[in-house]
């Protein structure tokens, strides 16, 4: 049985912004697009902002309507990457195996380390204190027998919580939770589950696995396994990512306004993924496929950015230059590449002297 930690930095972007500007403490803070333009989405929001119904990936214009008195900032993405590296450097001192899942999430494998570190709960509390004292960043930690359980656990008692799911208790722990707690259950699946009377994870496990295999194929089998407390036990080796892209296929479309709306959403997705990694991109790529399957691609190199508005405006301009035929469109896509990851800078962390 393995021992996996999942460490999730609480409201990470907001926490970093408050280190840089302490006057933001206690205020509803929103990191994302500029509400003056009405474009972009919420990359992160403080717990104070969440009280007004705001959440990540919400359109910025909706956020502004719900919380017009909030503090809206574009974000200090170079600093996000800096502090993320600092956290990882601390964790490397203790974790034999570590996987950075995103800019604010880390998996660690402490299997066989109980004799070294003692109580898992006490050691998790120690890691929390290390990160809080040295970097002023709060975090929550989940401990479980696999990555899925540990990740769900870290989200249970936010902020600054620790949840330890003891081996053998996974199914009981998950049973009362909403089905959308399981990673990978999206809006479409959730709606389908609700139509079948499946609201809680125990509603899944009360049915036979064959039911989900027949209804959802391999996805259904994997979902059932996670509902029973299963999940991947091994951490992934980090590989260099060369590009980020999203595409959308349609039934034949001729409306430019419709294409513009869909491209806007795709741009939001790729830029959000970019910001989650703490990167900027200097090349924008678009793809246009006609109904006769003729496909055009175009790219443009710009000053490194992670701004939705900049990326969208350039992508749409390229799309309209490419769309020259009176033929319906079957697919559009947008991608980003040539990343500035900030991590190429030399590490200069002196933990006892950091005063940022």
Distance from C-alpha of 48 to C-alpha of 53, rounded to nearest angstrom? 10
Given the residues 48, 51, 79, 105, the one annotated as active site: 105
Predicted model pTM: 0.73
Distance from C-alpha of 91 to C-alpha of 66, rounded to nearest angstrom? 38
pLDDT value of residue 351 = 39
Q: Which residue has the higher pLDDT, 278 or 207?
A: 207
What is the rounded average pLDDT of the residues 201-221? 95
Distance from C-alpha of 114 to C-alpha of 28, rounded to nearest angstrom? 41
Average pLDDT, the chain: 90
pLDDT value of residue 35 = 83
Distance of CA 341 to the CA centre of its chain: 17
345 token code pair: 């800078």
Q: Minimal CA–CA distance to 310: which of 343, 336, 332?
A: 336
pLDDT digits (tens, 9 = 90+) for 267-324: 988 998 888 777 889 999 999 999 988 999 999 999 999 888 899 999 999 999 999 9
pLDDT digits (tens, 9 = 90+) for 135-147: 999 999 999 999 9
The domains found in the chain, sorted by start residue, are 12-78 (3.40.1170.60), 170-228 (1.10.150.20), 243-341 (3.30.1490.100)
Q: Report whether pLDDT(229) > 60.
A: yes
pLDDT value of residue 276 = 78
pLDDT value of residue 264 = 92
DSSP code, position 111? T
* Burial tier of 107 (Cβ tally within 10 Å: 0-12, 13-18, 19+): buried
pLDDT value of residue 239 = 63
In sequence order, which residues have a C-beta less than 8 Å from that of residue 175 and are 6 or more positions away?
200, 201, 202, 205
Q: Has 350 been annotated as catalytic?
A: no
What is the rounded average pLDDT of the residues 207-222? 94
pLDDT value of residue 214 = 94
Q: Report whether pLDDT(167) > 90.
A: yes
Determine what percent of the chain is predicted with pLDDT higher than 70. Answer: 94
160 near 142, Cβ under 8 Å?
no
What is the rounded average pLDDT of the residues 189-216? 96
The position carrying tokens 């259904």 is: 220
Q: Report whether pLDDT(338) > 80.
A: yes
Q: Report whether pLDDT(345) > 80.
A: no
HSE toward the beta carbon, residue 344, CA cutoff 13 A: 6
pLDDT value of residue 56 = 87
Q: Which residue has the higher pLDDT, 201 or 242?
A: 201
Q: Report whether pLDDT(354) > 80.
A: no
217 near 229, Cβ under 8 Å?
no
């Amino acid at each position: 049985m393995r021992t996996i930690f999942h460490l999730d930095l609480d409201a990470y972007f907001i926490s970093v912004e408050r280190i840089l500007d302490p006057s933001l403490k206690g205020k509803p803070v929103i990191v994302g697009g500029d509400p003056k333009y009405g474009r972009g989405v919420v990359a992160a929001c403080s717990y104070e902002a969440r009280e007004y119904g705001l959440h990540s990936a919400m359109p910025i214009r909706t956020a502004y309507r719900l919380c017009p008195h909030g503090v809206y900032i574009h974000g200090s993405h170079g600093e996000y990457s800096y502090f993320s590296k600092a956290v990882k450097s601390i964790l490397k001192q203790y974790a034999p195996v570590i996987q950075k899942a995103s800019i604010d999430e880390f998996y660690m494998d402490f299997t066989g380390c109980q004799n070294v570190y003692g109580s898992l709960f006490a050691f998790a509390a120690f890691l929390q204190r290390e990160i809080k004292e040295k970097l002023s960043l709060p975090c929550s930690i989940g401990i479980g027998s696999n990555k899925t359980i540990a990740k769900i656990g870290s989200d249970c008692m936010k902020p600054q919580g620790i949840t330890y799911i003891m081996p053998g208790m996974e199914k009981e722990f998950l049973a009362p939770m909403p089905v959308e707690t399981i990673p990978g259950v999206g809006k479409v699946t959730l709606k389908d589950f609700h139509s079948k009377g499946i609201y809680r994870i125990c509603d899944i496990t009360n049915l036979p696995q064959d039911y989900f295999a027949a209804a959802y194929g391999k996805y259904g089998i994997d979902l059932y396994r996670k509902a029973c407390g299963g999940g991947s036990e091994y951490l992934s080796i980090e590989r260099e990512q060369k590009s980020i892209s999203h595409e959308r296929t349609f039934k034949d479309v001729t409306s430019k306004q419709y294409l513009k709306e869909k491209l806007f959403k795709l741009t939001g997705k790729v830029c959000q993924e970019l910001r989650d990694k703490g990167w900027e991109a200097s090349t924008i790529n678009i793809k246009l496929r006609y109904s006769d399957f003729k496909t055009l691609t175009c790219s443009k190199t710009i000053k490194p950015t992670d701004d939705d508005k900049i990326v969208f405006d350039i992508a749409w301009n390229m799309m309209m230059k490419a769309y020259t035929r009176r033929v319906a469109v079957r697919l559009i896509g947008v991608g980003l590449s040539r990343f500035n990851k900030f991590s190429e800078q030399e590490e200069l962390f002196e933990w006892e002297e950091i005063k940022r």
